[in-house]
Amino acid sequence: MGELLVGRPALKLEFAVSVPLDLTSVISLVYRAADPRRFDRWLVEARQALGEDGQHELDTLLGFSGRLLYYIEEVLMSFDPLQPERLEADFETYIAHLRRLAPWAYRSMAIQSMLRIYADRGVSEAPPETDDPSAWRAFFEPGITRADLDEVVSLVLAPEQLKARTVSLLERFWYECYEHEYRRVLPEMRRAIRQARSTTYPGVAVAFEELSGHRLPEEVQLALPRVERVTFCPSYHLGNFVQFILYPPELILYFNCQRTSAATQPEAGSIISPDLLPGLRALADGTRLRIIELLRERERYAQEIVGQLGISQSAVSRHLAMLEAAGIINVRPANGMKYYSVNAQRLRQIAEELERIG
């Protein structure tokens, strides 16, 4: 029968629109958007709008942790943003968390950023155990891209300043540059997530290729054995670039939501609504049709559906999530449980659209 091995959990594929996740993506893009020929126009103009002092702060705080900008990732992951209760967090909740962190936490995040850079190079390195600036300069030098090395060292040795400038940069970027733009593009990002959730993908690589139009980067592919959950996030300004955060056991993959929306949007004047395809995908499965049949009888909670269908809880959860994303079922939280019912109006809408096509 072969040797008994300890199994690894199957990869979970999640899809989310999140202020902290999107903010981290966009500020990283603005940091890089110095060349107007390569980057989205909004990104270039946002960088210019920060002025010389704002660009200096951006280049200092994002420019000392290597090409993958590990420091801003560490700041994000300190929030534990992928926990279900954190995915819906607004900017005020995120920045309040960062304000509560002690200054030493920011120093630790800067150090951890450098340790990740050394690990990527296959080097084992430890931070200095002294406040000697020369030792810290040697430690941080491999991560410097745009920042001034001496300025970075002075911030690490005065972590209260590192905290203040990190929080201030994020506040300024959100309120002066991105808040209005985020609210403008949010409907498009949500539409992309609905479309993604209504599709069944056989694996991470296929999902990424279909959503982004790119192959999964080799360094991400090689790291998948250490990953337990993959979260796909839409980005409005990503363009033709690939962007990801690899933070085992988490992997965050960004995709250009303008690409996915353009591929599924009907032409101007079409009688087909943008939401028809997600509805049809959700209905194109025998198990999901059986769930709808059960819910027509009465409202049920997930465990009842599991008992009726005789399939696993995780499988039922995936089917319910797809039906919910397509608007075909309603969800009512009560007493710590979720109760599901059929959205008859949505089913009639799909039927009427199909009738108009015919």
10-residue mean pLDDT series, the chain (358 residues):
65 94 98 92 96 98 97 99 94 98 99 97 95 98 98 98 99 98 95 85 89 94 95 96 97 91 51 71 88 91 89 85 86 86 89 80
Note the pLDDT of residue 297: 87
If asked whether residues 195 and 338 sit together in one domain, one would say: no
Q: In this structure, which long-range contacts are made by residues 57-60, counting pairs with CB atoms below 8 Å and at least 24 apart in sequence?
A: 57/165, 57/168, 57/169, 57/172, 58/27, 58/30, 58/31, 58/169, 58/173, 59/31, 59/146, 59/147, 60/146, 60/147, 60/148, 60/151, 60/152, 60/155, 60/165
Q: What per-residue confidence (pLDDT) applies to 263?
A: 46
**Within a domain: residue 316?**
yes
**One domain, residues 117 and 234:** yes
Q: Are residues 210 and 337 in the same domain?
A: no
Q: Check residue 272 and give its pLDDT.
A: 62
Q: What is the reported pTM? A: 0.76
Of 179, 177, 167, 201, the C-alpha closest to 281 is: 201
Q: Report how far apart, in Å, the C-alpha atoms of 164 and of each of 76, 154, 168, 171, 223 are.
A: 16, 13, 6, 11, 34
> Do 218 and 124 share a domain, yes or no?
yes
Is residue 144 included in any domain, yes or no?
A: yes
Q: Output the pLDDT for position 334.
A: 84
Residue 6 domain flag:
no
150 within some domain: yes
Is 270 within a domain? no
Same domain for 226 and 168: yes
Note the pLDDT of residue 5.
65
Q: What is the pLDDT of residue 200?
A: 77
Q: For residue 242, give the nearest of 256, 227, 229 by alpha carbon.
A: 256
Single out the residue in 258, 292, 315 at which a domain terminates: 258
Whether the Cβ atoms of residue 159 and residue 71 lie closer than 8 Å to each other: no
The type of residue at 277 is L
Is there a single domain that holds both residue 217 and residue 174?
Answer: yes
- Structure confidence at residue 6 (pLDDT): 64
Of the residues 198, 232, 258, the one at which a domain ends: 258
Separation CA 350–CA 330 (nearest Å): 16
pLDDT of residue 311: 87
For residue 98, give its domain range.
12-258
Question: What's the pLDDT score for residue 338?
Answer: 86
Q: Are residues 254 and 280 in the same domain?
A: no
Does 29 reside within a domain?
yes
Residues 134 and 211 in one domain: yes
Contacts with 70 (C-beta within 8 Å, 6 or more apart), sequence order: 112, 113, 114, 116, 117, 143
Task: Give the separation between CA 316 and CA 155, rounded to whole angstroms.
Answer: 50
Domain end, chosen from 231, 258, 285, is at 258
Q: Are residue 59 and residue 104 in the same domain, yes or no? A: yes
Residue 199 and residue 110 share a domain: yes
Structural domain contains residue 3: no
Neighbours of 55 (CB within 10 A): 17
Do residues 189 and 50 share a domain? yes
- On whether residue 7 sits in a domain, the answer given is no
Structure tokens of 334? 């009560």
Upper half-sphere CA count for residue 255 (Cβ side, 13 Å):
32
Residue 316 confidence (pLDDT): 87
253 and 199 in a single domain? The answer is yes
pLDDT for position 300: 92
Per-residue pLDDT, 277 = 74
Query: CA distances (Å), 352 to each of 18, 97, 272, 321, 323, in order?
Result: 33, 47, 10, 24, 18
How many domains, in total, are found in the chain? 2
Give the containing element (helix H, strand E) for 332. Answer: strand 329-334
What's the CATH code of the domain at 337?
1.10.10.10
